[in-house]
Amino acid sequence: MTNRRRGCVVAVAALMLSLSAAAAAPVADRYPGLAAAHLLMRDDAVVSAHAADTRRPMASLTKLMTALLAVESGRDDGEAVTVTAAAARETGTRLGLSAGQRLRFGDLLAATLIGSDNDACHALADALAGSEAAFVARMNARARELGLVHTHYENACGHDASAHVSTARELAALALVAIQQPRILVRTSQPEAAITTLDATPRTFRFGNHNELIGRYPGAIGIKSGTTPAAGRCLVAYAQRDGHAALLVLLDARERWWTATRLLDDALGGNVP
């Protein structure tokens, strides 16, 4: 394990201990009924939590681990990646990539984080590990390294599966690691992006950020949203304002954007102790 990875493990272990301590003396649920599970942090303190240790589907919040492994791999953003047939067959939100197309590694990362495109996500997984199955094994190994004991991945992109689960608390811990990576944070803060293939006849794909807080909520700088039938509307949001930072995880929130705005306003405005 590299010193950088070891440092992340230590940092998250300390975070998980502090969050566990908060769980031992339960933090008040100041926002009952707004989501099936949530966790809200202001600076370094948990200020509200509900069902934060209950395993639930996580939809495309999955892609935070995919992106983390991508940037930790050390692969250069300009490296060419060839889209596999398996990636081209992806379902759900997708760019519409074709097998054999070539794109830059960093552009696939952008499409994964901003557009939440499953074919781009799968192409990254195949490029990094040779197959999605091999990449998922790496995802689960990294989760164990980070002490995410209630998190388990069945796929790289966030499709519903019975054992594909995490918790609000562990997604918060993962997000705190991810936002330390500039290559992740800068992309999740972009309202939109465009990428172009490296083929003889280039094709350009344009996509917007599925996180509707970006460009609309003052101080929002990341990080990922996701929706599936089993998971409902999910969100990990990070915002900074007036010298304070707030991190919010929502799982299955019916009014996701209204709820996120209210909770972030309370945290950044000092309306929670």
Asked whether the predicted pLDDT for residue 188 surpasses 70, the reply is yes
Q: What pLDDT sits at residue 175?
A: 97
Q: What pLDDT sits at residue 7?
A: 43
Asked whether the predicted pLDDT for residue 163 surpasses 50, the reply is yes
Asked whether the predicted pLDDT for residue 21 surpasses 60, the reply is no
Asked whether the predicted pLDDT for residue 173 surpasses 80, the reply is yes
Q: What pLDDT sits at residue 16?
A: 56
Asked whether the predicted pLDDT for residue 172 surpasses 70, the reply is yes
- Region 27-32: what's the mean pLDDT? 86
Tell me how far apart the alpha carbons of residues 97 and 203 are, in angstroms, rounded to a whole number: 10
Q: What pLDDT sits at residue 196?
A: 98
Fold classification of 3-268 is Beta-lactamase (3.40.710)
Active site residues: 60, 63, 116
Across the chain, mean pLDDT equals 92
Q: What pLDDT sits at residue 10?
A: 45
Token pair 């791999």: residue = 73
Nearest CA to 20 among 47, 51, 53? 53
- Higher pLDDT among residues 60 and 1, named by residue: 60
Does 54 show up as a binding residue in the annotation? no
Tell me how far apart the alpha carbons of residues 176 and 189 are, in angstroms, rounded to a whole number: 15
Q: What pLDDT sits at residue 272?
A: 77
Give residue-wise pLDDT tens across range 95-150. Answer: 999 999 999 999 999 999 999 999 999 999 999 999 999 999 999 999 999 999 99
Whole-model pTM: value is: 0.91
Give residue-wise pLDDT tens across range 218-268. Answer: 999 999 999 999 999 999 999 999 999 999 999 999 999 999 999 999 999
Tell me how far apart the alpha carbons of residues 101 and 81 are, in angstroms, rounded to a whole number: 8
Q: What pLDDT sits at residue 44?
A: 85
Tell me how far apart the alpha carbons of residues 170 and 143 are, in angstroms, rounded to a whole number: 9
Q: What pLDDT sits at residue 22?
A: 46
- Region 62-68: what's the mean pLDDT? 98
Residues 6+ apart with CB under 8 A from 186: none
Share of the chain above pLDDT 70, in %: 90
